[in-house]
Amino acid sequence: MPTVVVFLSLHRLIITKGRRQIRGISNIWSVSHNSAVECIPPTITLFYSITMYFNVIFYTEEIKKVLLFIKNDHEYYMNRPENKILQYYAVQGSKIGFYYVGYLYITCIAYVLLPTVSLVIDEIVSSNHSEGKSFPVVLDYGVDMEQYFYHLFIPVYASMLMIANAVASYDNTYMLHVQHTSALFAIVSYKLRTLLDSLINLKNDRLIKKYNIELSLADKEEIFKKLMLCIKEHQNAIECADLVESLFSKSILVVQCCSVITLTIGGVETVLNLDDADYVMRFGGLALSQVIHIFVLCLPGQRLLNHSEEVHAAACEMMWYILPENCLNLYKFLLARTMVFNKITAFKLAVMSMETFQTIIQTAMSYFTVLLSLI
């Protein structure tokens, strides 16, 4: 019950701020187009945080399935040698997530607190001139914002931190889920490469042909069982990858489009206000954070694609030519399936990879150039 109350409270807080922010932009548009444009990046950030928020609501069952997948995999590999691979990827994912979330919170706090620095200075140092009180974004609560500034300070800044928390939670969950899927493919690659190690110590192809190695019936049965196990674990990794891809596919497309727009506007505002240190720090930092955000979304997809390709490479590199006859058909099916690489896509329109990251940055730079030429 307390969880439901907190969830509904956060829902109301974020949605209310979104309505006030949109109304504030519509009011200021008739006064100053430049001020309204400055408010677009925070509004877009709010929009894709709401997208992430609703993605969790609508895909609750898929999230449960992925978490159950992860739980079952850890239980399955608990007392097996492959558990070291799984634990290595889990620790690596946790470290990457920790550093990224820390960076995201620091960036958010710096962005929202910069406008309040002048207020703190005015409170500490007495001066005949004091700047007007304002929030990092334009809001319209239907009251005098300067008069009720301190009354609105806590809910406004709390909602901003909640938006950052939504983005951080989504990105971290995405990275950890893809990291676990990559670990499953790494395990399959390892088992394929070591499939015959316990039976055959001769790695040289010429020596194998020279001594005309014949496998015993027990060895053939053991190879068949190991190959069947590799196929089942590969199917499990594919199923997990498909589930993760379906969970994040639609929301990634929205987030990437919003990130391109935010990156473009942030870059334009930075260049147009190079003489203002506050603007450069806020919008330059915003543009840089969007580049890092796009990179964080593309990198796990690239890693998953690489691990999926490694399974195919491992299947090709194993000594398939000495497999028993009853394993050859299984091997052919395995080899054919490994040629279809698993990937994370943005609603099937683009593969999340470093090539896509390069394309997105180039597109954003093109928009940036066009906007600069029009202003």
3-state SS, one letter per residue, for the chain = CHHHHHHHHHHHHHHHHHHHHHHHHHHHHCCCHHHHHHCHHHHHHHHHHHHHHHHHHHCHHHHHHHHHHHHHHHHHCCCCCCHHHHHHHHHHHHHHHHHHHHHHHHHHHHHHHHHHHHHHHHHHCCCCCCCCCCCCCCCCCCCCCCCCHHHHHHHHHHHHHHHHHHHHHHHHHHHHHHHHHHHHHHHHHHHHHCCCCCCCCCCCHHHHHHHCCCCCHHHHHHHHHHHHHHHHHHHHHHHHHHHHHHHHHHHHHHHHHHHHHHHHHHHHHHHHCCCCHHHHHHHHHHHHHHHHHHHHHHHHHHHHHHHHHHHHHHHHHCCHHHCCHHHHHHHHHHHHHHCCCCCCECCCCCECCHHHHHHHHHHHHHHHHHHHHHC
pLDDT of residue 40 exceeding 90: no
pLDDT surpassing 60 at residue 37: yes
What are the tens digits of pLDDT across the range 176-200? Answer: 999 999 999 999 999 999 887 766 5
| Residue 113: per-residue pLDDT | 75
Q: What is the pLDDT of residue 177?
A: 95
Q: What residues contact residue 316 under an 8 Å CB cut-off, 6+ apart?
A: 335
Does the structure show a pLDDT above 90 at 309?
yes
CA separation for the pair 301, 55 (Å, rounded): 19
| Residue 104 confidence (pLDDT) | 87
Under the banding of pLDDT at 50, 70 and 90, the label for residue 30 is: low
Place 206 in a pLDDT band, splitting at 50, 70 and 90: low
Tell me the pLDDT band of 160, cut-offs 50, 70 and 90: confident
Please state the pTM of the whole predicted model. Answer: 0.86
Which has the higher per-residue pLDDT, 161 or 98?
98
Structure tokens at 155: 């809910």
Q: What is the pLDDT of residues 311-350, one digit of tens each?
A: 999 999 888 888 888 899 999 999 999 999 999 999 889 9
The pLDDT of 227-252, averaged and rounded, is 94
